[in-house]
Amino acid sequence: MANVETALKEATTSIDGVLGAALVDAGSGMALGTIGGGKDLDLTVAAAGNTDVVRAKLRTMEMLGMKDEIEDILITLGSQYHLIRLMKGRGGSGLFLYLALDKGRANLAMARHQLKKIEAELEV
């Protein structure tokens, strides 16, 4: 079982092209841990903004009467992928992992696979 710091470090070392990563409380929009980022990627702002994305999608699913769960949300920009993975189980409910990836260096399928593995090992 990995703690937040260890899990975020693993994301940056096991996933190619990571620009930044965060564990976010979807209730408050607060980042519980971050790694990477910088002046062009403020992870605390990204945490709050992506919380709105998660809430909007959950609200839309409810309005549509969908009885399903979000596995992950992908936002594709010109030069980046932004990947949001909602956590399940072991106290992870209400949290999500957020990754910003360099589109030119990242393998999206492998990033999704690794993020799923990291989520499974994360103890919150």
pLDDT, tens digit (0-9, with 9 covering 90-100), for 57-100: 999 999 999 999 999 999 999 999 999 999 976 555 789 999 99
How far is the CA of 116 from the CAs of 39, 40, 57, in angstroms?
A: 28, 26, 20
Residue in the block written with tokens 């309005």: 63
Among left, alpha and beta (phi > 0; psi -120 to 50; other), residue 21 is beta
Helix (H, G, I), strand (E, B), or coil: what is residue 14? helix
Q: Which pLDDT value is given to residue 58?
A: 92
Indicate the Cα dihedral angle 115, 107, 27, 117, nearest 10°.
-10
What whole-number distance in Å separates Cα of residue 96 and Cα of residue 18?
16
pLDDT, tens digit (0-9, with 9 covering 90-100), for 26-67: 999 999 999 999 888 999 999 999 999 999 999 999 999 999
- Alpha helix (H) residue ranges in the chain: 4-14, 43-63, 108-121
